[in-house]
Every structure is written in C-alpha cells, then in structure tokens.
Structure 1
C-alpha cells in the first residue's frame, strides 16, 4: 500500500496537479477504463520540468488519491519520500515521452477492449464515424515489441510518434498525450468512442467510409463547438462533479 506524502512537502502547484490527476484516475474507473492495477495516466509537475506524477503500483484506480500519487523524475527516482513502487512498464513508456516531447504535459495509456481491438487490426482506426473523422491523418502507429520495459524501445516510440500526439500501439492499446490534462482526457474519450463505434459498426454491416474532403471540413470546424475555457476543460469539470457525488476521497 502506498504511503501518502506530507502536505507540507509540496507546492500549491503540485497540490493542484495531484488533485487533478487523482480525479482523472477516479473518472477513468467510473468510465470502466481501469485495468486492475495496470495502465497509467501521468502528469508533469508544474514548474518542475523533469518531474511527473504517476499512480503507485499495486493500487486500483478507485484507490488513487491526491496524496498517494508518486512523484518521480524522468530517470525513475522517487522524489516525494513515499517509498512507493512504480510499475516499470509505465515508467519506461511515459518517461521517454515526458523527456523528449516538450508539450507532453499529460500522457494517457489504456488497454480498453475497444482500443485494443482496433489496435490489433491491420486497418487501425478507419474513417467511418463522427469521432474517428477527427483523428484521421493524426494518428501514429507503433508495432508491438512486447511489454514496454526495455529502454531501447524508447527511440522507436519517439520516431514513430513524430509530430502527432495520438498513437495506436499495435496489438496493445492506445496512447494519448497533450499539453493539459483536460485536453488529454477529451482526446482519450473521443478516441475511445471512435474505437467503440468502429467495433460496433463492423458487427452491424458494411462500414461506409467518410470522404477525405468531408474529413478535412470536419477537422477544421471541430473547434467551433468548444467553449472558450479551453479544449476538454468543461468536459473534465463535468466528470469531476459526477465522481464528487459518488465519493470525494480522491481529494485527500
């Protein structure tokens, strides 16, 4: 069991980041996106370029709180004195992006059924539904190399990511990163919906592809349906209100 760190040992910015990330873990559990004690959502600590927060290895997403998140650096050193364990697979994958992608403030990796199913197909994500249309031409692909515990895979992950911020890890799952946690949350939600609908469409009949010119218009106009608070912010705040009505212990 992870040991909570002392509140006096952190800045206000870190405290806020911990609460935001803890809320995200609880939201993912509420949405059915947790995977026993595995998978990870990481968040850079504001003002500390080489430090990020990650879930302690051994806790279910429903057990994550602001104080039991683990603060580590990109070399794997625990910085908060908690002595908590960190899943090596999560550290290796997330640290390489936090190290080499400056705008990867938040990184989300999941093994949802729909995400894994689409990642395991030759076609990957196809232009056959509203949500998928927002990602076409913006997804990177990385072939499966086994569990991500070998540092040398990091160079290939970065190469395959290129200038994109969504990746299908073939035969494995999905990876999303963004310059804010709410934006990453919304991107993951949309990608998950795209994968769910694609899987359902395949069972329903013959998929109809959306023409490239329509996809271009769709991607151009998506920003017109966003509130001025920023991408993902109202969506994330709405889900925080949902989990607060169930259980506020994540704030501790």
Structure 2
C-alpha cells in the first residue's frame, strides 16, 4: 500500500495512540475508537480494525473509511460502522478535529455518571475549567439520529465532551493533542474520585485561579519545541518513548 508522507505520519501517530491507550489501561477490550482524518481530505478517516486489541494495532493495519463507515481501500480487516456513530458526527461537524478519541475507562465513566460531572478540584481538572460540554445518554450509540443532538451539545469549539453515563471524548488538532488531553482528563477523573472517596470537603479553587490555570495549559510555553507550532510535541515525543525499551541506566561516556 502506497500512501503520502503526510498520511504515513498520521498513521504512525494514530497507531502509537492506540498502543498508548492500551499501555495506560484506558482501552475497553475491542471497543471504543480513535479516528484520524486523512490529510488533505474532509471525508476520509483512519480507524482501528474491528476485533484487534489496541496493543497490536500498526500503521499499516489501520482501515480507511468514509463518514458512513464504508471501507475505501482493499484490506484484510473490517470495521464496526455502528461504533463510528460518535466519530462520524464529530468529524462531519468539526473540520478542525484531526483526531477524535473516545474511552470507557472506569474513572471516566464514573465521573460521567455523577450529577456534578467533572469538578475543578485538582490541577489536571483545571485544564478543562469551563471547557467541558455534556451530552445526555440515549442508549448505546447506534442510532444515527443521535448525531445531530450530539453535535449541538458539542458546539463549535469544545475539545472535551463528556457522554453522560457513558464515557469521555477528546478532540485534537493532532493525534498528540487528542491523546494528551484524554490522558490528563482521565487522571483528573481518577483524582476527583479519590478525593470524593475520603468524604472530606474539597478545598475550593477561586474561579479566577481556575481560569488562569486553564489558560496556562492552553499557552503551553514550557512545552513547546523550537520550530514546532504543536505545543504537545515535546510531551508526545516523550510518550512515544514508552513504546520502546527503556534506555540503559548505566553511566555512558
């Protein structure tokens, strides 16, 4: 299979994101998806082969589909079109979303099921202060009619969507951004549940400090790599190292 250099890069990043989701225990057997738009297109996407564990996904095994989940190129794999309902809705409405990542982690589902939702109670959660939107649970996401309501709840700019009683969704201008947002969001949920489990009052953060923190995350000056506009490039490069054997710890001249 011959692909452009741009598509090859997206394929490699997307396969790495699948493996990192598995590495951090954020996968759910063969369910959920991470989808990425094929560079230079508005209606072609890459997604996982249905039935393959996230840990085993490679750049070449990813399947190219359209907005209806139809396979566009010869492949030995198939996809789960019904599982693409959420992703197709987001990609069709939000052309800024290069990558859409959806999880069913235990802390994510737990927080999605709390009436209070995500709380501004820790530094990770403050990244998302006033930047989270919610969509009500309508059953397993198989009904294409739900897409219109989901898109309305998502709106034109949100990058974090909590599906009530279901799970978490992040949108990224890059695969790296979608993954790192999800990684931080899931950790924010874990910390919130740990705090709530103590039964003690949550120490409040002043709204102006919460907003400042969110803007600091968005600025990302300390994370930027010279010459690279992607503020997630430095952390993504480090994340990719988790998929490689650890470097030896002995002294090297």
Q: TM-score, normalised by structure 2?
A: 0.90
TM superposition shift of 1:25: 0.6
SS at match of 1:176: strand
Question: Between Structure 1 and Structure 2, how many residues are aligned?
Answer: 239
Tell me the alpha carbon deviations over residues 105-126 of structure 1, each in whole angstroms, 9 at most, x when there is no partner. 1000000111111000000001
The aligned counterpart of 1:245 is: 245
Cα distance in structure 1, aligned partners of 2:158 and 2:16: 26
Check the 8 A contact 2:42/2:95 in 1, yes or no. Answer: no
Cα distance in structure 1, aligned partners of 2:35 and 2:110: 24
Cα distance in structure 2, aligned partners of 1:77 and 1:201: 44
Check the 8 A contact 1:33/1:110 in 2, yes or no. Answer: yes
The aligned counterpart of 1:209 is: 204
Q: 2:164 aligns with which of 158, 166, 170?
A: 170
Check the 8 A contact 1:133/1:210 in 2, yes or no. Answer: no
Cα distance in structure 2, aligned partners of 1:52 and 1:234: 25
Tell me the alpha carbon deviations over residues 39-69 of structure 1, each in whole angstroms, 9 at most, x when there is no partner. 1111111012210100011111011111111
Check the 8 A contact 2:131/2:158 in 1, yes or no. Answer: yes
The aligned counterpart of 1:185 is: 179
Q: 2:190 aligns with which of 169, 190, 196?
A: 196
The aligned counterpart of 2:223 is: 226
Tell me the alpha carbon deviations over residues 136-175 of structure 1, each in whole angstroms, 9 at most, x when there is no partner. 2100000100111111000000000013121110000000
Check the 8 A contact 2:129/2:211 in 1, yes or no. Answer: no
Q: Does 1:123 align with 2:116?
A: yes
Instruction: Give the superposed CA RMSD.
Output: 1.4
Cα distance in structure 2, aligned partners of 1:43 and 1:121: 30
Cα distance in structure 2, aligned partners of 1:125 and 1:13: 36
Check the 8 A contact 2:99/2:173 in 1, yes or no. Answer: yes
TM superposition shift of 1:209: 2.3
**Greater helix share, 1 or 2?**
1
The aligned counterpart of 1:43 is: 36
Cα distance in structure 2, aligned partners of 1:45 and 1:244: 26
TM superposition shift of 1:245: 1.9
Q: TM-score, normalised by structure 1?
A: 0.91
List structure 1 runs of 4+ shifted beyond 6 angstroms: none
Check the 8 A contact 1:185/1:232 in 2, yes or no. Answer: no
The aligned counterpart of 1:13 is: 6
Structure 2, unmatched stretches of 5+, are: 247-253
TM superposition shift of 1:83: 5.0
